[in-house]
């Protein structure tokens, strides 16, 4: 079915970061909008915006600090009208948006699992004693330290190509990436194996693309409503309420994943000390409509189990 737009108008400006993954996500969004409204490519303009997170490549993300490292400049462009919608990896998004902006449109979620990447070793469980592994993700580092205290962790940043080169140079024997990113880049072959959530619970919102808009823009609202995936929306409502109640971001060791079976939602969560010395896990289930409340409830349960000082690293 083809939908009709409220009025013919200027091209819709789609804001995105310039990384290969961000561009692939912007192109996917454009393709879905073109199909939903039977529009030509010329009805859209992809506008690349450089963020602080893209600019500073020589330091671990947590050191640069602050929420919205990859979003601030893009949200400013939305607010000043230089773009109309912005495409984001939801994993990188703060739980609240600035006044005047809405982030309530989600594309169908990709694979939520982490990928195990190594030229030498097939699976996480096959890593030899004391192996050096690279990751800049606080969550992955904490989870690895908890499960495999023998491993040596080194910082690893940069795009997929940079990381593969580091592995070839022997800086580390393995690293980790999101399966979703590899799939979207057509690089699924880079993954030696997928790590099941039971082995390593993914980041909140991993694999989900979200699209942000001005609350006052009715054309954007109409267009985005046509490509929204409600199941992804329900899962993210639970996961992001959990994250919000933990007062966390992707820069803290927090994992969480919601799954749907019929009208029932199950949310699993894990919080860790950054050195992996302590792990607290839990899960809650209930009707899909209660997703956000379940997220808050799971956060409350985990926080109640956290010994004094658990969050002192913040
Ligand atoms: N923090 C970086 C980031 N943000 C989203 C993805 C991958 C795509 C996704 O999870 O949707 C990645 C890279 C990675 O973890 O491999």
pLDDT digit string (tens) for 243-271?
Answer: 999 986 445 699 999 999 999 999 999 99
| Residue in 92, 111, 114, 217 annotated catalytic | 92
With a 6 Å cutoff on the Cβ, whether 178 touches ligand 1 is yes
- The answer to whether the CB of 13 falls within 8 A of the CB of 82 is yes
Name the nearest CA neighbour of 227 among 106, 312, 135.
Answer: 106
What domains can you pick out in the chain, each with its CATH number? 12-108+208-228 (3.40.190.10), 114-195 (3.40.190.10), 241-305 (3.30.160.40)
Cα–Cα distance between 43 and 291 in angstroms, integer? 36
**Which residues, in sequence order, are CB contacts of 61 under 8 Å at separation 6+?**
53, 69, 136, 157, 251
Residue 92 annotated to the active site: yes
Read off φ and ψ for residue 103, nearest 5 degrees: -125, 85
pLDDT digit string (tens) for 140-174?
Answer: 999 999 999 999 999 998 888 899 999 999 999 99
What ipTM was assigned to the predicted interfaces of this complex?
0.95
* Residue 42: pLDDT over 70: yes
Q: pTM, whole model, 2 decimals?
A: 0.93
- The answer to whether the CB of 69 falls within 8 A of the CB of 51 is yes
Ligand 1 centre distance from Cα of residue 181 (Å): 6
């Amino acid at each position: 079915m083809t939908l009709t737009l409220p009025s013919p108008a200027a091209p819709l400006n789609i804001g995105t970061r310039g990384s290969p993954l961000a561009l692939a996500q912007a192109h996917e969004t454009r393709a879905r909008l073109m199909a939903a409204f039977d529009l030509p490519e010329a009805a859209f303009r992809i506008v690349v915006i450089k963020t602080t997170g893209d600019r500073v490549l020589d330091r671990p993300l947590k050191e640069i600090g602050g929420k919205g490292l990859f979003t601030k400049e893009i949200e400013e462009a939305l607010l000043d009208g230089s773009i109309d919608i912005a495409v984001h990896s939801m994993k990188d998004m703060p739980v609240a948006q600035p006044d005047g902006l809405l982030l309530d449109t989600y594309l169908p979620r990709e694979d939520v699992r982490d990928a195990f990447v190594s030229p030498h070793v097939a699976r996480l469980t096959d890593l030899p004693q004391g192996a050096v592994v690279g990751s800049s993700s606080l969550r992955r580092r904490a989870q690895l330290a908890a499960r495999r205290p023998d491993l040596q962790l080194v910082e690893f940043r940069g795009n997929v190509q940079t990381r593969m080169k580091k592995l070839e140079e022997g800086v580390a024997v393995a690293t980790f990436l999101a399966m979703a990113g590899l799939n979207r880049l057509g690089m699924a072959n880079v993954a030696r194996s997928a790590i099941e959530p039971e082995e390593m619970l993914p980041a909140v919102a991993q694999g989900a693309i979200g699209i942000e808009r001005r609350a006052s823009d009715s054309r954007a609202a109409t267009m985005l409503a046509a490509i929204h995936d409600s199941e992804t929306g329900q899962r993210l409502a639970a996961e992001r309420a959990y994250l919000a109640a933990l007062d966390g971001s992707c820069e803290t060791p927090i994992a969480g994943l919601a799954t749907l079976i019929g009208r029932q939602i199950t949310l699993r969560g894990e919080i860790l000390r950054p050195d992996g010395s302590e792990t607290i896990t839990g899960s809650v289930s209930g009707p899909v409509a209660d997703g956000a409340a379940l997220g808050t409830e799971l956060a409350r349960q985990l926080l109640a189990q956290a010994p004094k000082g658990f969050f002192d690293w913040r």
